[in-house]
């Protein structure tokens, strides 16, 4: 049955014709919709807040304040050998998309090397880690949802230069529901 026949046979067409305002109001009255509450945002490649998060140079592009706390997104711009040790998030899932270079990623014990264009998904409550491998600097777009983790990154970026105090780092991360394993 084609669409036109379906609409005629079910009476939907007649009800839409007779009550178009009511039907339209019903469709647009979704109280869970956030589209009317959010402003669009364009972020150019060179734009964003740059943070040095213990050697992970992050350019924050979208924040929770931009997305009704649905998602936060940043670009990691990282030298070879730099990475994040195994850890578990209890609040957010993460997506990693490699733009340049190679990233060795571990999710739930499985290690994979990602190249430009490759994507990995690390659900919350599973151990994961990553590090730049090879000789080339890497760029990776990381998304976390829901948002909130950007507050932790801001706090970590304010730690003094030099080797990080792991106890302080672990405490800041634990406040966000992240533990190192």
Structural domain spans, the chain: 1-32, 49-180
The CATH homologous superfamily of the domain defined by 49-180 = Jelly Rolls (2.60.120.10)
Buried b (16+ CB within 10 A) or exposed e, 120-144: bebebeebbbbbbbeeeebbbbbbb
β-bridge partners, 88: 179
Whether 7 shows a pLDDT value over 70: the answer reads: no
Distance CA 127, CA 108 (A): 5
Token pair belonging to 22: 């009511």
Residue 6 or 127, more confident: 127
Range of lowest pLDDT (13-22, 53-62, 93-102): 13-22
pLDDT tens readout for residues 84-104: 999 999 999 999 999 999 999
The pLDDT assigned to 4 comes to 53
Output the average pLDDT for the chain: 87
The model carries a pTM of 0.79
Whether 106 shows a pLDDT value over 60: the answer reads: yes
The pLDDT assigned to 17 comes to 44
Over pLDDT 70: what percentage of the chain?
Answer: 80
The pLDDT assigned to 69 comes to 97
Distance CA 165, CA 149 (A): 20
């Amino acid at each position: 049955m084609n669409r036109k026949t379906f609409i005629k046979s079910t009476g939907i067409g007649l009800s839409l014709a007779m009550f178009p305002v009511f039907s339209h109001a019903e469709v647009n009255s979704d109280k869970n919709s956030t589209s009317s509450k959010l402003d669009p945002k364009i972020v150019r490649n060179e734009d964003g807040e740059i943070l040095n998060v213990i050697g992970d140079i992050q350019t924050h592009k979208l924040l929770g304040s931009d997305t009704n706390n649905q998602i936060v997104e940043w670009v990691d711009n990282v030298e070879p050998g730099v990475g994040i040790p195994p850890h578990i998030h209890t609040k957010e899932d993460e997506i990693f998309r490699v733009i340049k270079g190679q990233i060795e990623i571990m999710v739930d014990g499985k290690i994979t090397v990602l190249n430009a264009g490759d994507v990995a998904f690390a659900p919350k409550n599973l151990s994961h880690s990553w590090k730049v491998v090879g000789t080339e600097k890497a760029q990776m777009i990381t998304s976390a949802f829901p948002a909130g983790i950007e507050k932790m990154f801001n706090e970590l970026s304010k730690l003094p230069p030099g080797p990080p105090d792991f106890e302080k780092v672990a405490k800041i991360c634990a406040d966000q529901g992240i533990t190192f394993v």
